[in-house]
Chain A
Amino acid sequence: MRKRWLVVLTLTLGAALLMAADGSWLHKVPETERKRVNPLAGQAEAAAAGRVLFEENCAKCHGDDALGKHNRPSLRSERVAHATDGELAWLLKNGSAWKGMPSWSALPEPERWQIIAYLRSLPIESAPSANTNR
């Protein structure tokens, strides 16, 4: 009996994690945050600075080419491309602790916008990949 409960609990937790792996963080973004616009959008200098920051902070998990690494998501997916600036800013600030994405609130907000400016400068990789769905 005890074993059965353990199996049920494990399956439930597994299902919860799988559901959370579909980019569900997008649903948590408050509307006011979602509408925010990158004040540095379109600035080549901001994207260049964002690249430096990306290489220092993000590339270790998401790869130098931002295509994802070891089950960690691509940042050149259509999901990321279609996310608003505000949604990406929210994710960088809050992280997604249960999914392994840490909060980057220790980075000053202008630096987070610089990273987003850099991500926007990357071409979209539309090839289907298991990583892009996270």
Chain B
Amino acid sequence: MAWQALRVRRRLIARKGNLGGRFVDRGVDSLTSILRSGLAFLAGLVAWFALGAVVRAQEPPYFVTYSQALEEPGNLEVALKGLTASPKDANAFFSPTMEFEYGATAWWTTEVYVQGQATENDSTIFTGFRWENRFRVLPSEHWINPVLYVEYEDVNAADKSLLEVVGHDGISDLQLNNAESRGEVERELEGKLILSSNAKGWNFSENFIAEKNLKNEPWEFGYALAASRPLTLVARGRACVFCRQNFAAGAELYGGLATVHDFGFDGTSHYAGPTVNFTVPRGPTIGFSPQFGLNDNSVGVLWRFKVSYEIQQFRDLFRRAQ
């Protein structure tokens, strides 16, 4: 969230109180329609699954932190990433994000996000899109593997996806009603330095985030750290569903680092929590994570989940057989 936008929002909260009541009757319908859309999406992907067109991805079980893992070239991963929370002094909300991640080459992954949110006693709205690119810097593996990340965002201030936390992002961002916040569109550039290591089955990832609103606003910073490991390092000789090789577990810690003018932890929010992934062989990957706010400026608990399907060699669908 932009620094200036945050000030505007805080002023609005102070002026109007925090719970807009104009959309009370539409709240339940909003959540229902979002859930219905989610179910339709799942049904469509189950059809893909039935056709055998999807297999598992090899990404660590992170929701905010990026690792060095890029999408395999030619693969298209379709994912639904959800976040729900009941912030203090604000309405509960559900924020779904659709992701389309494509491996353009072995060193470049590009991804488009489409986002929305439904807030209880308020409304369901589309909040914007993002276009992200990740570039592997070094051609071979090292102790630490850098990946560069560049993203363009066109999202409005009602966005509650918390795909990253930067600057002074905090609980007050979630206390405005949608009618007030959706009109404020933020066009931002975001860069990340992703550092990641794989050692003895473990993955350790560190992200440093810098975000700039294209209006005249200061740079905002954030961080994300994570570690994970599959529950076993050796595969079994036959396909199985609920065996340890299909599970990975880890933990994430992330938060804001204020702006270029007041770099540090003052007025920032931070979260930490365990994460787990379950990969159905020749099927989807399902992830779940409760993430706990670490200070008063954070939401108590963020409940995150993700369902992703990797469509193998998507580009082969457009090639003639050889």
Question: Whose C-beta in chain B lies nearest to the C-beta of A50?
Answer: B235
Chain B residues touching A, majority SS: loop
Residues of B within 8 A of A111 (CB): 233-235
A60 & B239 in contact (Cβ 8 Å cutoff): no
Q: Of A28, A99, A102, which contacts B103 at CB under 8 A?
A: A102
Residues of B within 8 A of A107 (CB): 58
A102 & B281 in contact (Cβ 8 Å cutoff): no
B201 & A108 in contact (Cβ 8 Å cutoff): yes
B140 & A52 in contact (Cβ 8 Å cutoff): no
**At the interface, yes or no: B258 with Cβ under 8 Å from chain A?**
no
**At the interface, yes or no: A114 with Cβ under 8 Å from chain B?**
yes
B73 & A100 in contact (Cβ 8 Å cutoff): yes
Q: How far is the CB of A21 from chain B (nearest CB, A)?
A: 14
A52 & B238 in contact (Cβ 8 Å cutoff): yes
Residues of A within 8 A of B122 (CB): none
A61 & B233 in contact (Cβ 8 Å cutoff): no
Residues of B within 8 A of A110 (CB): 233-234
Chain A residues touching B, majority SS: helix
Considering only residues 57-102 of chain A, those with a C-beta below 8 Å from chain B are 57, 60-61, 69-71, 93-102
**At the interface, yes or no: A22 with Cβ under 8 Å from chain B?**
no
Considering only residues 87-134 of chain A, those with a C-beta below 8 Å from chain B are 93-111, 114
Residues of A within 8 A of B281 (CB): 56
A105 & B141 in contact (Cβ 8 Å cutoff): yes
**At the interface, yes or no: B322 with Cβ under 8 Å from chain A?**
yes
**How far does the alpha carbon of A96 sit from the alpha carbon of B136 in the complex, in Å?**
12
Considering only residues 102-121 of chain B, those with a C-beta below 8 Å from chain A are 103, 105-107
**How far does the alpha carbon of A60 sit from the alpha carbon of B76 in the complex, in Å?**
12
Residues of A within 8 A of B238 (CB): 48, 52
Given contacts A95-B106, A108-B201, contact A52 B237 (CB under 8 A): yes
**How far does the alpha carbon of A114 sit from the alpha carbon of B230 in the complex, in Å?**
16
Residues of B within 8 A of A103 (CB): 68, 106, 140-141
Considering only residues 62-83 of chain B, those with a C-beta below 8 Å from chain A are 67-70, 72-75
B234 & A102 in contact (Cβ 8 Å cutoff): no
Q: How far is the CB of B284 from chain A (nearest CB, A)?
A: 13
Considering only residues 187-241 of chain B, those with a C-beta below 8 Å from chain A are 198, 200-201, 203, 230, 233-239
Residues of A within 8 A of B56 (CB): 56-57
- Chain A: residues with CB nearer than 8 A to chain B? 28, 45, 48-53, 56-57, 60-61, 69-71, 93-111, 114
